[in-house]
Amino acid sequence: MKVQKDKLVHAGACAAIAAGAAVALRLLGSPAVAAGTGGVMAAMAAGAAKEYGDRPTTGWDWADIAADAIGAVAGGAALGYLSL
């Protein structure tokens, strides 16, 4: 199965957003689970906002949201749940 480049970009961007937010929350003293969850929420909010903005041109794409979710969970889990 070939994955569209756009889906990889969505997953990568959301992984980076989730990881960055999770690290920031950990540095601010949040527990690991809260930081990871916050990172996932931040990334999903960004992905949903991007899709909402795409509605007039390319439309809402649930496959993009799924790629966002995969990246968000990977990024949040990778850095949010680790102890700093």
Per residue in 49-72, pLDDT tens?
Answer: 998 988 888 888 899 999 999 999
Span 8-30, mean pLDDT? 93
pLDDT for residue 83 is more than 60: no
Task: Please choose, from the candidates 20, 52, 50, the residue with its C-alpha nearest in 3D space to the C-alpha of residue 38.
Answer: 20
| Nearest Cα residue to 81 out of 27, 42, 40, 35 | 35
Predicted confidence (pLDDT) at residue 79 exceeds the cutoff of 80: no
Task: Determine the pLDDT at residue 77.
Answer: 83
Beta strands in 1-84 (DSSP E): none
Mean pLDDT of 70-83: 81
pTM recorded for the entire structure: 0.87
